Amino acid sequence: MKQPSMGVAGKVALGAGLSALAATGAVFAVSRYLFDFAVDTQSPRSMIARLRTGKVEGANLEGVHYDAQEEAQAADWFVESRQPVAIRSQDGFALRGWLLDPDCASPAPHRYAVCCHGYSGSPDHVAKYARRFARMGFTVLAPASRGHEPSEGRYIGMGWLERRDLMRWIDLIVESDPQARILLYGLSMGASTVMMTVGERALPRNVVAAIEDCGYTCVRDEFMAQAGNMYHMPRWMAALVVDAAGLISKRRAGYGFREASCVVSLRHATIPMMFIHGGEDTFVPSSFLERNYEACASLDREKLLVPGAAHGMSASTDPERYWRRVGAFVRRAFGD
């Protein structure tokens, strides 16, 4: 018996179907790789795993460090002065960090600063910021984010899971000193952690002010920017990959990339906020500064764009301007 012929139209339809399946498979593969690389620290493909095994080097902040001497002195001070502290996250992970005493003759009573490091970083990466605040009279807490040694945790929350961890650190301070007055400071992912935290309804009144330096608007926006800048994906393709990775993250890590939004959280902010960004930041686009600033509901907010500064380099590019503005903001927010 003669088999019926598929015909030209049928062959075209079958070819289109197979192409669509292949494209869908490719999108899933790339999105799975993105999730493994950026979020799952136990994957051998993850950025964190590669750093631990020495397959890749840590972030090399681009540009001239005009505060190189200060950075070196702060690094030594950090190692010599730090005291270990630990808590447990809401989901059961041991979170660790360092406590540093004020570094001045007349420390301010009940004054604390929490300094949050960036993606793939560690507490010592915020040593120069910690020392500056210690010299202003603050007792400084520098926690290690979940999934970053020495803290536990498999999945990096890109600020969204970390906001709950930061709330736990804040609670620790308040429990030990009910009169505590707290400044939150964050760099890069730490900045987004701070922005996501200030919108929490349960944020204690002890948190007086917050400073974010080069944070993104939401996780989806940041991954979309990287897909275009680093991998040169067309926007439509980047959207497919990032959104698929967001679905994987929702199922595996418990959060989606869209919901992890600084913009939404900032709409509920009430404390004084300072927003800082480098004018030449391409890793977290400088356009995010204006979007975060405009989203902030606080009546007391200010922004600083540092010309010529790359990602995380604002304080090193123009240290005099940076610390003059930060110092003035802190003094005003804390009533000095």
Give the DSSP letter string of 210-240: EEEES--SBHHHHHHHHHHHTT---HHHHHH
Tokens, residue 332: 């005003």
* Percentage above 70 pLDDT, the chain: 90
- Specify the pLDDT at position 232: 85
Going edge to edge, which strands form the sheet with 207-213? 83-88, 94-100, 139-143, 111-116, 181-187, 207-213, 273-278, 301-306
- For the chain, residues classed under CATH 3.40.50.1820 are 65-218+260-333
- Write down the pTM of the prediction: 0.91
Q: Residue 38 and residue 49: Cα distance in Å, rounded? A: 10
- Specify the pLDDT at position 19: 43
Q: Residue 271 and residue 332: Cα distance in Å, rounded? A: 12
Q: Residue 97 and residue 88: Cα distance in Å, rounded? A: 11
Q: Residue 212 and residue 11: Cα distance in Å, rounded? A: 57
- Specify the pLDDT at position 14: 33
- Specify the pLDDT at position 10: 41
- Report angle CA 332, 164, 199 to the nearest 5 degrees: 45
- Specify the pLDDT at position 243: 97
Q: Which residues of 203-216 are buried (b: 16+ CB within 10 A; e: fewer)?
A: beebbbbbbbbbbb
Tokens, residue 44: 């051998």
Q: Which residues of the chain have pLDDT under 70?
A: 1-25, 55-61
- Specify the pLDDT at position 59: 54
- Specify the pLDDT at position 52: 80
Please name the CATH architecture into which domain 65-218+260-333 falls: 3-Layer(aba) Sandwich (3.40)
